[in-house]
Structure 1
């Protein structure tokens, strides 16, 4: 049963973590990010970091792996928000 729960956790985390990827691709293609909320990505990044910490404390691989992955697209969006801030 633990293996099944871990698989469900990984699949759920993959879907949740990859939800930002389409927005990331659109932002890169259009080179525009002025309508994106900077605060949203700061909050998401903080949440992912805290979830990762929690996962390490609980020794829970699905929580650790999916939230560490989520840090990458959130950080990238923060960088793109700054990089494309004047593009219209």
Structure 2
């Protein structure tokens, strides 16, 4: 594995892990009042586009980071709509 891709995987782990506490807290507390639906919809669009870009350039770090982060964003959006 080349150095750039290794660095990308470390960055992917950090940025993706940053969303996990928010998902966990929203799931457990059922409180999503202070979460912006619009922000998460725009964010989801961006992560999906990054995911597609990662596929096009064959970058596993971009694919993994944005694939997992998209799933986490979808969970937040689902919870936001469910617990309005």
TM over 0.5: yes
Structure with max Cα Rg: 1
What range is the shorter-chain TM-score in? over 0.9
TM-score by length of 1: 0.89
Which residue in the other structure is 2:21 paired with? 22
Q: Unpaired segments of 5 or more residues in structure 2?
A: none
Structure 1 stretches (4+) deviating beyond 2 angstroms? none
Q: Unpaired segments of 5 or more residues in structure 1?
A: none
CA distance in 2: counterparts of 1:74 and 1:23, whole angstroms: 10
Which residue in the other structure is 1:53 paired with? 52
CA distance in 2: counterparts of 1:43 and 1:19, whole angstroms: 18
TM-score by length of 2: 0.93
> How many residue pairs are counted as aligned between the two chains?
84
1:20-76 Cα distance to aligned partner (Å, 9 max, x none): 111111111211111100011101110010001111111111111111111111000
